[in-house]
Structure formats: structure tokens, C-alpha cells
Amino acid sequence: MAKVVVVTSGKGGVGKTTSTAALGAALAQIGQNVVIVDFDVGLRNLDLVMGAERRVVYDFINVTQGVAKLPQALIRDKRLDRLALLPASQTRDKDALTEEGVLGVITALRKMFDWVICDSPAGIERGATLAMRFADEAIIVTNPEVSSVRDSDRIIGLLDAKTVRAERGERVGKHLLITRYDQPRAARGEMLSIDDVLEILSTPLLGIVPESEEVLRASNLGSPVTLNNPGSGPARAYCDAARRLMGEDIEMTIPADRQGFLGKLFGRRAA
Amino acid sequence: MTSDVHPGQATRFVCRSYMAVVLAPKPPIIEWVAEIDQKIKGAGCFFIGPPVVLDLSAVKLSKSAIAHLLAELEQRGVRIMGLENVEAASTGDGLPPLVRSSKGASMSIDAVEAPVAAPVPDSTRKPATLLLDKPIRSGQSIFFPDGDVTVLGSVGSGAELIAGGSIHIYGALRGRAMAGSNGNTRARIFCSRIEAELLAIDGYYMTAESMDKGLRDRAVQAWLEGNELKITALD
């Protein structure tokens, strides 16, 4: 049975799109069939992060409006054949999304994949509420700072109120993913600690992704960080998070960047 | 035991919500008034007595036309307490004030069209307690005018809790808590960890800035002594 997961945060710039790409790739790397869906109509980014921007022909809105068939709009990843992307439309805005349209696409994707991962736009408006509307589970991406944490708190409230599951009296599984965690700054008390964030949000932790230049490097190359540099701290954090999503019990660590075996022999790879 | 007395509470801000019936006239007005006559017959005296708000979004009326319509309704015993969705220029001069409703909080009048008696509050029933077993998240607003509210989790920053009675929070209070909203001066606020943005009892309030810094992060209770909101640590 396919799982629909929304990656959401409320606040922008905390790493929703990066996390969607990295987790989607990580799940595909361990043999799952995954589609990542960009809900950020009008401001799409997931295609860039996946390096698929030149392969977009049809998009989500075209499918909901019947202009294109779903398989025509899906873009298979060239590196991982189990990973597909449904891009958002860049020329439209969030009003082009309708609940019926989204339901139709999600229902069809459920039949084709093991995981349907929805990359939510920032905010709490139409785009974000429709991205979470049909979710079975939610990954709440949070940076360890107060504004991001409060926005996440708000989003968790909406997940418990505005999703189909919540309206049926069922639970939406919630997972907290702390990104851009800077160990030295946390040690100096310049950031909220993991314990503070967990105490405020009282939501189970899925993973802690360290702040790393590898994330930006991978984005600029159009490759999920789990594919671009599997040995990097963020990549290992995302792989662990993906395994926890699969139900595996993995000890919580904050992986630091390290160079792989080849990296040690030949020095850092050029990006 | 430390106790914090906050001076300078001469001004009181008391907010109360009321239920009002909303009437929305549709053109042509004459037919609409006839329809109201029908409804008054059907619904007994539902419109007569309780405050009524006139929603003028569907019609364009001059100031004198509004006054005329009000007089017509007054004749039928319908008293208008406010006007909604009308330009500010069309009000004043003895007309009721402009009101704004919060969207989505309305109740359809069709639900009471049948001549069933309007629900009468059962005064014999004891005021209930609202128990919330989940954290109150930022942006959520809990309004419970009938009694106490107990929260087992935390109340997030940017969340608010309004209770007719006392408020008990077993987690951290980071948002706002307003107890005794119906004029209950004996209502209290208890929380096991205070990082509140605002506390209020019966309209007497205290913001985070005016709270004793030494109480922060501690278990406290707040109560009203005369016109003063007091806070003291419980531990």
C-alpha cells in the first residue's frame, strides 16, 4: 500500500525541497518505487534540484486539467530508475490547484508507486494546505531557530485539522526533520538545542541533518545530496531518515562530513 | 514564595463575543421584506428580541434607504444592532455602527427556520470542563466560555486559550491564556511552566514584559486580587 508523505514546514528556506529530493532518492536507493511531487506551482524548484529542468514537458496542472496524461508528465530520474518527478507548473499560480484535481493525481500515483512524496510550498495557504490534504504522513522540516520552530508548530496544528485523515478522525503520522543543524554553534548556545526543539514541538524525530556546504553543492549540480556525495554528513543523515521512514530502528546520530575512501586517497573531489 | 503585583492596570480591555442573527437583504427589497414577514410567522419570534446584524453585501442602498429599511424592520420588532458589508460613508447619523464578523463562524438561518423553540441554555446543568489531551499549536485558538479548560500538553507560542472559568496547563504555556472571560473574577490560571506571551483574568491582563523574570520557566498560578493580576510560583 502506497504511502503519501508531505514534506512541509510553514517557513520558507528551511530545506523542504532539498529534503524531498534527498529522501526520495534515498528511498529509491534502497529499492522503493518513489515519486516526488512539486506542489510549489508558480515557483517550482524541485526540477532544478533534481537536474530535470530541461526535461519538463507537461506538469502537474496539465494533468489535473486533462491536457496531458499522468505518465506523460512524470519524469524518470536518469540515475535511479525507481525515482520519478512530477513537476509543478511555473507559469501558473496556486489557484490553478483544485482539491479534485489533486485527489485525482494522488490516487493515480498511489497505484503506481510505493511512496508519493509531496514537496509543499512555504506558507499556510492553498498550495500548502492542498499538499498536505491527502497525506498519510508528514515530515516537518525545521531549522533550530525560534521562527522556524513556531511556524512548524502552526503547521502541525493544521495537519491535525485540515487533512482528510484528521477530518475522518484518523491520525496523520508526523516526523520531525531538523535541518541545517550546526554543531559548533549549538555547542556555543547560539542555536536552539535539539532537546528544546523536541520539547516545543513534541513530535518524534526522524533525523538531524547537519549544516554542510555539500547541500548547496549538490543543489547547484542538480543532484540530490544522497546521490551526489553519499559519504557526506547530510547524505548519511538523509539515508538514516529514509530507513527510519521504512520502520527501521536506527540510532539517532548527527553525521559529520567525512571524505570517502577515494576522497582520502585523491583529495577532495572537484564539485 | 514570590508574588508579582503589576501596577498600572487602570485601563481594562474586556472583549466578549456574542451570537447575533444576521439578516442579508436581497434585491428587490420589497419582496425580501415580505419574505421576512413570512419567516417571522414561521419562526415565531426568532428575530424579535435577540440582536440582529444587517448584512448589506447583496444590495446597494443609500443612507436614507438604509434608514427606511431599518424603520420597516423596527416596525416588525426586529432591532438591528449593527451593519455589515456597507461603506463607512453610508453609516453614522443615528444608524447602527459597522460590525465585522469573522469569516466561517456564521450559522445558516435555515437551520432555525422551522418553528422549533430556540435552544434555551439549560441552567440546571453544571458548567463543563474542556479537557485537551493534545498540545495547542501556534495559531490555534480555543474558546470555551462554559467553564474550565485543562490542557495536558503545552500551549505554543502564538496560540490562545480563552476560558469562562480557570485554565490548567500541565505543559509549558508559551502563548496566551485568558481565564474568566465571562466576568468570573475567581478564575485562575495554573501552568507547570510559564513562558507566556500574555495572561488575563476577567480582562485584567499582564504581558510577558511585565512579568517577574524570576518566575520564567517555573510552575505558577495567577489570580485576581481586586483589580490586580497576581502571579506566584507554585514550587
Give per-residue pLDDT as tens, B144-164.
Answer: 998 999 999 999 999 999 999
pLDDT at B95: 82
3-class state of residue B155 by DSSP:
strand
Query: Between chains, do B172 and A199 touch, taking CB under 8 Å as contact?
Result: yes
Query: Between chains, do B154 and A150 touch, taking CB under 8 Å as contact?
Result: no
Mean pLDDT of chain B: 80
Query: Between chains, do A153 and B172 touch, taking CB under 8 Å as contact?
Result: no
Query: Between chains, do B139 and A154 touch, taking CB under 8 Å as contact?
Result: yes
Which residue in B135, B138, B157 is closest to A202 by CB distance? Answer: B135
Query: Helix A16-29 to helix A233-245 angle, to the nearest 10 degrees?
Result: 70
User: Full-prediction pTM beyond 0.90?
Assistant: no
- B-chain residues near A200 (CB < 8 A): 154, 156, 172, 174
Q: Cα-flanking dihedrals φ and ψ of residue A56, to 5°?
A: -75, 120
Please determine, for residue B12, whether its predicted confidence score (pLDDT) is greater than 90.
Answer: no
pLDDT at B108: 39
Nearest CA among A84, A72, A70, A78 for reference residue A32 = A84
pLDDT at B96: 83
Q: Cα-flanking dihedrals φ and ψ of residue A201, to 5°?
A: -90, -15
pLDDT at B27: 83
pLDDT at A1: 77
Minimum distance, in Å, between the CA of residue B198 and any CA atom of chain A: 17
CA distance linking residue A16 with residue A139, whole number of Å: 9
Within 10 angstroms of residue A26's Cβ, the number of other Cβ atoms is 29
Minimum distance, in Å, between the CA of residue B140 and any CA atom of chain A: 7
What is the Cβ-side half-sphere exposure of residue B28, based on CA atoms within 13 angstroms?
Answer: 3
Do B136 and B177 meet the contact criterion of CB atoms below 8 Å apart?
no
CA distance linking residue A103 with residue A258, whole number of Å: 42
Which residue in B154, B158, B174 is closest to A154 by CB distance? Answer: B158
Q: What angle do CA A226, A229, A233 make, to 5 degrees?
A: 75
Question: What is the side-by-side strand order in the sheet with B52-55?
Answer: B21-23, B52-55, B80-84
CA distance linking residue B229 with residue B188, whole number of Å: 10
Name residues 178-217 of chain A within 8 A of B (Cβ): 199-200, 202
- B-chain residues near A153 (CB < 8 A): 137-139, 156-159
ipTM score: 0.77
DSSP A146-161: HHHHHHHHHHHHHHHH
